[in-house]
């Protein structure tokens, strides 16, 4: 059977692209540490996530280790609680785990300028952890269209110097 030269070129190019795509996904999953969204966060009551067993009232809590904080955030049309009316405040040089739940519709939770980006699905809890080394202000953005006020859904995360962080008033 004779295969024309141009057909061989296109066949090799197509197979090369397939290998490249599979290699890219494998690299992202194994080497770079990117993962798929899973059920790690658990489920919550959509009407009142804080009533669920593994979700607290929205706010900042001290974690199980020194320098670790847990931040519980409810997303709702069209605000982050806390985050929109009151900024989320955490100290610099800390590890922060965000527990995010939606009480109404699908929302996004992105901390602009970081690698924190997750979906808040009604009935589900998303868990994302990041380290904040330097004092800085970050924007919170909903990156999933959630209704007519979506463009106004924004908030603030303030990473403050450690001496300025008063755990007695800022941590619940």
One domain, residues 143 and 106? yes
Has residue 137 been placed in a domain? Answer: yes
Residue span of the structural domain in which 97 resides:
49-170
One domain, residues 15 and 67? no
One domain, residues 29 and 54? no
69: enclosing H helix or E strand: strand 68-76
Mean pLDDT per segment of 10 residues, for the chain of length 172 residues? 89 96 87 64 80 86 91 94 93 95 94 92 91 96 93 95 81 69
One domain, residues 21 and 104? no
One domain, residues 28 and 53? no
Predicted pLDDT of residue 102: 92
One domain, residues 76 and 154? yes
Tokens of 136: 């800085």
One domain, residues 76 and 121? yes
One domain, residues 70 and 145? yes
Has residue 39 been placed in a domain? Answer: no
Predicted pLDDT of residue 42: 78
Number of separate domains in the chain? 2
Maximum Cα–Cα distance across the chain: 80
Predicted pLDDT of residue 172: 65
Q: Can you tell me the distance from the alpha carbon of 97 to that of 87, in angstroms, rounded to the nearest whole number?
A: 16
One domain, residues 109 and 68? yes
Has residue 59 been placed in a domain? Answer: yes
Sequence-separated (6 or more) residues with CB below 8 Å from residue 89? 60, 158, 160, 165, 170
One domain, residues 153 and 70? yes
β-bridge partners, 99: 72, 127
One domain, residues 69 and 145? yes
CA dihedral 24, 30, 31, 32 (to 10 degrees): 80
């Amino acid at each position: 059977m004779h295969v024309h030269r141009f057909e061989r070129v296109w066949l090799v190019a197509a197979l090369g692209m397939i290998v490249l795509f599979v290699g890219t996904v494998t690299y992202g999953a194994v080497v770079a540490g990117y993962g798929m969204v899973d059920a790690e966060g658990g489920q919550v009551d959509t009407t009142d996530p804080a009533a669920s067993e593994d979700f607290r009232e929205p706010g900042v809590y001290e974690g199980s280790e020194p320098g670790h904080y847990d931040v519980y955030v409810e997303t709702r049309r069209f605000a982050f609680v806390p985050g929109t009316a009151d900024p989320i405040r955490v100290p610099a040089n800390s590890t922060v785990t965000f527990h995010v739940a939606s009480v109404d519709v699908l929302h996004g939770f992105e901390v602009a300028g970081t690698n924190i980006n997750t979906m808040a699905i009604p009935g589900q809890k998303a868990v994302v952890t990041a380290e904040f080394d330097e004092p800085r202000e970050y924007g919170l953005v909903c990156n999933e269209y959630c209704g007519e006020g979506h463009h106004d859904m924004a908030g603030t995360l303030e990473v403050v110097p450690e001496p300025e962080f008063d755990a007695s008033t800022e941590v619940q």
